[in-house]
Structure 1
Amino acid sequence: MKYGRRFAVTCRAGAAGIALTAAATHAAAQGTESPSSAHGFEEIIVTATKRAESLQDVPISVAVISGNMINELGLSRFEDLQSTIPNVQIDNSLGAPSIFIRGMGSGASNFSFEQSVGLFVDGVYSGRSRFFTVPLFDVAQVEIVRGPQGALFGRNTNAGAVSITTAKPTDERFISLRGGYEVLYDGYFLEGIASGPLSDTFGVRVAGTVNREGGYLRNHATGKREPVTDTWYLRGTAVWKPSDGFSATLRVEGGKVDQDGGVFQLFNRGTAALADLWFATDPNAEDNLDLNRSVIPLLPEFDDTDTLNGSLTIEIPLGDHTLTSITAAGGVNNLKSVEYTGTSLQIAASTLGENFDQWSQEVRLSSPTGGAFEYILGVLYTRHKLKTLQESEFNNFGPFTGVSTRTYHERDRAISPFLSATWSPIEQLTLIGGLRYTDEVKRGRTSHVASGVIFPTYLPYSYSGRRHEKHFTPSLTVQYKPSRELMLYALYATGTKAGGFLSNDATLQARILAGTNDYEFEEETAKSYEVGVKATLFGGKGLLNVAAFQTDFDDLQVSNFNGDFFITNNAAKARSKGIEADFRANVAEGVTLGLSGAYLDGKFREYPNGPCIDVTPNPDCSALQTQDLGGYRLQRAPKWTGSANLDVRRPIGSDLAFGGTLNVNYKSKYYGGQNLSEYDAEKAFAKINARLAIGASDDRWQVAVVGRNLTNKLTKNWSFPTPAFGGNAHTTSISQPRMITIEAQTRF
């Protein structure tokens, strides 16, 4: 029985050449690693085209991170991934996580938005960005696929896809324990794994984690450390292989992420009268970007998320063909309360909620491999239900003392048949075509009610709508291999994301009456052109991958908060173009170097009704507080990003081994919000992560010290104009500061 062969190889390859995954290597999503390679590296096998193929042979741009590297660099959260991958931004916004690839993403200001970057776990689509809050642990590898993936992955992948392959049961029984203590902010984690066969045909794997992130902000108004985040998560996987070619894999996982305390602080006072009031009444008031806040919330601040997901994957041999069925169901529930001014004035707070359930069924038929013509034919059916809540409470905010409640209900179903075909007319040349048709029906119902004294623009409303959309998303790739060491490719890919309805805008009715807004927003489409080269160098000791791309978006779905209300609409046209390059080499025995970098030019080509640039005075800002942003740079799109990784593995005598990993990542200046405010902009910065370890040469035990953000660089995570303050007052949350963790692990 060979349940865990590929995962076991993933761990060995990660330990031997971790810089492979740190450099953003080009490949396709959802892969594992095979036990040998003619290139001198452990070969990575990927299945983006739903076939098992070598990374260096697959013509798609993707960053691959092994489960081993995730452990080594202490990457416990999805947003940690951006520290090693160019052209990727994952941040926790005011509402939910927001994901941008190559400067493209939807943001999270409008709660009904589906992301332009799709999340897939073992091939199953997870339909809400809130799923990005679950912990990263016991995974074989994570792949981030760049660019539209409509034909391969389906809808809602206009900017790319994040694909997770979880670890599977192993051939041999083992139990492992891994734990650590974060010494600066009193955090800890404990992970346990039990895996192995129960019979010749049946194997199981159970993995669980308990984690606490200590509060790194000092709230001087309360004397507390904030936010303190407690997480527990459990995953069980069972694999049954009664005969050759047949397998059934059941995965069930779920857990809780509970955050106590807040994250926002006022970092720019400006000329706001309310900010002056705060400074006059709070001796701890300050507007520096630091690890201090002085906040007495109107309502207790928290952010609690529960998730539960499961899938059953069955593979059945039909002669030379393979029939694959993936049945999945799951959901996420979230409730949070946030004090978004970052002050102790106790004038306002918001309670946000989300309840989401989904179900999907995919069936596909794969032809045999090795011939001149191969194909995969399949169909995917999904449905979901979504409920969201935003309740804003005002307390003696001038004349305003009341509550504004916005609720949204949505039902969605989509069916998408697809075909992928590969033809090799000659040995060196391969043509790959893909086509997916999507038929989607979405129903939405939004309402707003208010009590007490509320802003005059907070008018009550109730709207409902139905959208029925049909889309074709083709792709075409030409691949040429003049030699075993060189592969060239050119591709055309498309993507689409359905339109929808505004969900949580208190001023929607006022702006509809003024003729400046609609209840619905339109579908978003993308098309991309990419050329690339993958080369093996130095007799197999080095790899170099380079890709140049251009992606055009039509009707890009955007939503931005301008300090008074949300502007949610479709930006007419946007373009993202640039170059990505990745290099890795075995520079000496046990020493691997990885370098990756990207240049990105992302701009709005047309955006006549965008939010006003936050400058005073702004002669281009209309009386309706909109501005033509054509020619302006996209948000969260740094021009330059890069990562350097050095990995050292050396024996110490016959029984011990030393390991060291150094990671440096860089980003040039970028804008944190779509109003392109210089206050919300993040200047160029570099962060350093490192790990030193010593352990048994047979991996039975190990102790390590892991440092993240060693230079203690403080950067803004999510920034916006402080609600209702005006006067260029701005609020932000910051990313984690320096973290030092002592770890130990054992396996028996």
Structure 2
Amino acid sequence: MLYLHLRVKILGLNALRSLPILAAPFIAAASHGQEDAGPRMLEEIVVTAERRTSSLQDTSMAVSALTGEAMSNRGINDVEALAFAIPNMSFGESVGNARIAIRGIGFDNISVGNEGRVAFHMDGVYVGRPAAALGTLFDIERVEVLRGPQGTLYGRNATGGSINVVTRGPNSDLPGYIRARTGNYDLRELEAATSASLTDEVSGRVAVKVIERDGYGTNLVNGRQIDDERSRSIRGKLLITPTAALEVALTADYRRENDHNYGYHFLGAGSPERVPTGLLLGGEVADDIRDVAVDTGPDNKRKMSGLAAQVTYSTGWGELVSVSAYRHTRYDTITDLDATSAPLTRYEQKEESDQYSQELRAQGDLGNSHWLLGAYYYQEDLYGYSKVPIDRALVGLPSLYVAGYFAGGDMETRAGAVFGQVDWNLTDTLSLTLGARYSVEEKRVDEDYQFDLLRPYSPGQALIPSATNRDKETWKDFGPRAVLTYEPDDNLRVYASVSQGFKSGGFNLGGLQEPFDSETLTSYELGLKAHWWQHRLLTNFAIFHYDYEDLQVSKVQEAVIVIENAAKASLQGIEVEVSAILTDQLQIDFNLGLLDTEFDEFSTFDPARTSLGLLDLAGNELTQAPRYTANLGVEYEWSAGAGTVTARAEGHWFDEVYFTPFNTGNMRQDGGRRYNFFLNYRSEASGWHVGAFIRNLSNEDHLSTALVGSVLTGSPALGGVKPPRTYGVTIGYDL
């Protein structure tokens, strides 16, 4: 039964009375130079959230979008920065894996072979590995963030929503550019792109990005910088149009990173029952949360590449679309599991994945309806492991560094689906959308577990498994969607929707446990989208309720990561988005997200507090689910000579965030705030532009993730830290 209630105490509405409300630019301001043509208005962004083009305001779902120009002006070049511009979206990182959460539905599996609950798409291709979502966003046309389950059109692992990144093609309005950026932490960044017509039917585009940046902290043991970046990215596109009805878009991309990023920071004791073993055995830790004092790592190496072909054929009744893709992802991360200077552990995590996908869609108009039919196939072959050589002193034996713990192996995923959706115009003002997707997914695992206290450790030594397992499992799901839309005029749209999302079950690679079950989420949403004041004011509103069953939860138990299914959870919330042009020079954007989340049924043991026995977690909040997020942006522009100056100030406020379902104080980020400032000058005639930026002006220290480590190391609290204050200047030229 649908119910929508928001408890004032839980959502902290009293506190919000004095909280500045915030914003993100979901709608871009109209192009400069419109003063002579009349009052400046908000310009609609065209999106493809429903697998066809429509304006943002004509799409009956909660979706936000940022143009590439807006992202460039605000220095948004990755998903983490994007999270500061979207309501009810949060971001974290765990050993090089993106922890993206939308409306409290995010990433909870910390083992290898994991999959997120927010689908990440690049030019229509699903990117299965969470590690790949950490790549730099460059040469972007727009980014769309779809909030809520997207099971019908996007399928597997879109329980929380979908992030759709659309890169610029050869036919972009921006033929080419070059930009250079420098800043503190010795930032050196270069980005460039160019398009060219090779023949009458063939055009191409190439874009590159290079980032060199010193670390935000230091390893006090060896003096090496940590949390730095050394990355290289390139993307090439070909657009082939042999006839007016046929279009072929080919894409190839490659990214390489080699630095000292993604290591664990020591956050203190993770259990009231234990003292971290590294401290007991004489190890030291850093006083500054941004530094570490470890004898091992961190080291990070990753390579990611992809090939994609999208073929679109237009006919008299509609169009046929084929999207074929291959993606390769590999990363190797080394960090210290005890997070102290004592030479007790070395934590290695590796994944190597080959992903193949094929989607076929047909769509068109028939009478007063629009229809879409599709089929999808996904295949992934993955090898991964977590390896922890240890000193036997951790288990009370004579000191000797031994092979220790290993959990890993091969996992194969085969998934197929058929789906469809129909939009009917029932009257001139009322329309009905019905859709459904039927999915079948099979996973096979060939896994090994080792706990070896006899063999001295040496890099590359042979694996001698203590136990092995081969297994397979199949999951099936039917996910419907229904939307009723009322549109009395072009400026007002009201919709009500019911939809489902599906995340398949799986195996805890190397954990030798029974397969964990699939999870489903049923969403009820009511939304309003409106333009006012001659398109100078936009107001969007959404209220939603989620019923969540069998959600997958992970924890570290002794030396093993365990994944289990919590029984039930419920979530509800409100989102408000406003963008207003108060004068031709002044624009204000804000958004507000409120969340109320709790486990309805969930009992489990806390490995860090075993003396408490079985714990009833009913009533606890979900992870990565702050009770409020708010964003405010104020932008002012004025003419200066032959160009335009734009100044923008931003604020981001958020409530406390829990990182584990136990909701303990040491596994929490307190509520906080971040402020950014941008100043840009653009010469309209010459194409030159220059800008300055400051992000995290008050230099706040905020955690990106936290977990309680293994009892073998005394259950230390480990985690990552978001970037400190950064500032710099950009100079560029648009072709």
- Give TM-score scaled by structure 2 length: 0.89
Alignment partner for residue 542 of structure 1, among 537, 540, 561? 537
1:738 paired with 2:725, answer: yes
**Partner Cα separation in structure 2 for residue 152 and residue 68 of structure 1:** 28
The one-letter code matched in structure 2 to 1:219 is: N
1:485 paired with 2:491, answer: yes
Post-superposition offset of 1:281: 4.4
Post-superposition offset of 1:543: 0.4
**Partner Cα separation in structure 1 for residue 383 and residue 276 of structure 2:** 35
Post-superposition offset of 1:687: 0.2
**Partner Cα separation in structure 2 for residue 51 and residue 255 of structure 1:** 29
**Partner Cα separation in structure 1 for residue 402 and residue 711 of structure 2:** 15
Which 10-residue stretch deviates more, 687-696 or 594-603?
687-696
Post-superposition offset of 1:21: 8.9
Which 10-residue stretch deviates more, 273-282 or 718-727?
273-282
1:211 paired with 2:198, answer: no
Partner of 2:42: 41
- CA separation of 1:277/1:150 partners in 2, compared to 1, >3 Å: closer, same or farther? closer
Instruction: Give the secondary structure class of the aligned counterpart of 1:500.
Output: coil
Partner of 2:688: 701
**Partner Cα separation in structure 1 for residue 278 and residue 368 of structure 2:** 74
Alignment partner for residue 362 of structure 1, among 328, 351, 359? 359
**Partner Cα separation in structure 2 for residue 713 and residue 173 of structure 1:** 36
**Partner Cα separation in structure 2 for residue 236 and residue 21 of structure 1:** 34
**Partner Cα separation in structure 2 for residue 723 and residue 408 of structure 1:** 21
The one-letter code matched in structure 2 to 1:627 is: L
Partner of 1:14: none
Partner of 1:321: 318
* 8 Å Cα contact 2:322-2:359 kept in structure 1: yes
Alignment partner for residue 704 of structure 2, among 714, 717, 727? 717
**Partner Cα separation in structure 2 for residue 194 and residue 208 of structure 1:** 10
Which 10-residue stretch deviates more, 133-142 or 692-701?
692-701
Partner of 1:628: 616
Alignment partner for residue 22 of structure 1, among 6, 11, 24? 24
1:112 paired with 2:113, answer: yes
Partner of 2:634: 646
1:292 paired with 2:291, answer: yes
Give the length in aligned residue pairs.
695
**Partner Cα separation in structure 1 for residue 494 and residue 243 of structure 2:** 39
**RMSD over aligned Cα atoms:** 2.7
Instruction: Give the secondary structure class of the aligned counterpart of 1:543.
Output: strand
**Partner Cα separation in structure 1 for residue 560 and residue 450 of structure 2:** 16
* 8 Å Cα contact 1:446-1:502 kept in structure 2: no
Post-superposition offset of 1:430: 0.4
Partner of 2:298: 301
Instruction: Give the secondary structure class of the aligned counterpart of 1:648.
Output: strand
Question: How do 1:325-474 and structure 2 match up within 5 A?
Answer: 325-368=322-365, 371-398=367-394, 399=397, 401-403=401-403, 404-453=405-454, 460-474=466-480
**Partner Cα separation in structure 1 for residue 350 and residue 262 of structure 2:** 16
* 8 Å Cα contact 1:555-1:570 kept in structure 2: yes
The Cα offsets for residues 58-109 of structure 1, whole Å up to 9 and x where unpaired, read as: 1111221221222222222222221222211221113622221111123231
Partner of 1:16: none
Post-superposition offset of 1:147: 1.1
Instruction: Give the secondary structure class of the aligned counterpart of 1:291.
Output: coil
Instruction: Give the secondary structure class of the aligned counterpart of 1:579.
Output: strand
Partner of 1:668: 655
Instruction: Give the secondary structure class of the aligned counterpart of 2:71.
Output: helix
Partner of 2:459: none
**Partner Cα separation in structure 2 for residue 574 and residue 180 of structure 1:** 45
The one-letter code matched in structure 2 to 1:22 is: A
The one-letter code matched in structure 2 to 1:349 is: R
Partner of 2:166: 165
Question: How do 1:557-706 and structure 2 match up within 5 A?
Answer: 557-561=552-556, 565-609=560-604, 611=606, 621-622=612-613, 626-653=614-641, 655-698=642-685, 700-706=687-693
Instruction: Give the secondary structure class of the aligned counterpart of 1:137.
Output: coil
- CA separation of 1:100/1:207 partners in 2, compared to 1, >3 Å: closer, same or farther? same
Which 10-residue stretch deviates more, 577-586 or 358-367?
358-367
* 8 Å Cα contact 1:109-1:559 kept in structure 2: yes
- Percentage identity across aligned positions? 24
**Partner Cα separation in structure 2 for residue 79 and residue 237 of structure 1:** 26
Post-superposition offset of 1:692: 0.9
Post-superposition offset of 1:534: 0.7
Post-superposition offset of 1:660: 1.6
Post-superposition offset of 1:641: 0.5
**Partner Cα separation in structure 2 for residue 595 and residue 368 of structure 1:** 37
* 8 Å Cα contact 1:235-1:252 kept in structure 2: yes
The Cα offsets for residues 227-268 of structure 1, whole Å up to 9 and x where unpaired, read as: 322110100111122332321111111111222266433222
- CA separation of 1:38/1:241 partners in 2, compared to 1, >3 Å: closer, same or farther? farther
Instruction: Give the secondary structure class of the aligned counterpart of 2:648.
Output: strand
Instruction: Give the secondary structure class of the aligned counterpart of 1:151.
Output: helix
**Partner Cα separation in structure 1 for residue 562 and residue 38 of structure 2:** 52
* 8 Å Cα contact 1:25-1:62 kept in structure 2: no
The one-letter code matched in structure 2 to 1:420 is: Q
**Partner Cα separation in structure 2 for residue 263 and residue 586 of structure 1:** 44
**Partner Cα separation in structure 1 for residue 85 and residue 150 of structure 2:** 22
* 8 Å Cα contact 1:24-1:86 kept in structure 2: no
Which 10-residue stretch deviates more, 243-252 or 637-646?
243-252
Question: How do 1:186-335 and structure 2 match up within 5 A?
Answer: 186-260=186-260, 263-269=263-269, 275=276, 278=279, 281=282, 285-286=285-286, 288=287, 290-297=289-296, 300-335=297-332
**Partner Cα separation in structure 2 for residue 276 and residue 325 of structure 1:** 55
**Partner Cα separation in structure 2 for residue 554 and residue 171 of structure 1:** 43
Partner of 2:17: none
The Cα offsets for residues 5-64 of structure 1, whole Å up to 9 and x where unpaired, read as: xxxxxxxxxxxxxx99924579xxxxxxxx999993222112222221121111111221
Instruction: Give the secondary structure class of the aligned counterpart of 2:106.
Output: coil
- CA separation of 1:262/1:142 partners in 2, compared to 1, >3 Å: closer, same or farther? closer
* 8 Å Cα contact 1:545-1:582 kept in structure 2: yes
Partner of 1:526: 521
- Give TM-score scaled by structure 1 length: 0.88
* 8 Å Cα contact 1:348-1:397 kept in structure 2: no
Partner of 1:502: 508
Post-superposition offset of 1:519: 2.1
Instruction: Give the secondary structure class of the aligned counterpart of 1:152.
Output: helix
* 8 Å Cα contact 2:127-2:133 kept in structure 1: no
Post-superposition offset of 1:565: 4.2
The one-letter code matched in structure 2 to 1:744 is: I
Post-superposition offset of 1:125: 0.9
* 8 Å Cα contact 2:347-2:387 kept in structure 1: yes
Instruction: Give the secondary structure class of the aligned counterpart of 1:588.
Output: coil
* 8 Å Cα contact 1:439-1:469 kept in structure 2: yes
Post-superposition offset of 1:675: 3.0
**Partner Cα separation in structure 1 for residue 26 and residue 159 of structure 2:** 20
Post-superposition offset of 1:271: 7.0
**Partner Cα separation in structure 2 for residue 460 and residue 607 of structure 1:** 32
* 8 Å Cα contact 1:707-1:740 kept in structure 2: yes
The one-letter code matched in structure 2 to 1:307 is: M
* 8 Å Cα contact 1:116-1:160 kept in structure 2: yes
Post-superposition offset of 1:535: 1.1
**Partner Cα separation in structure 1 for residue 258 and residue 222 of structure 2:** 20
Post-superposition offset of 1:137: 0.6
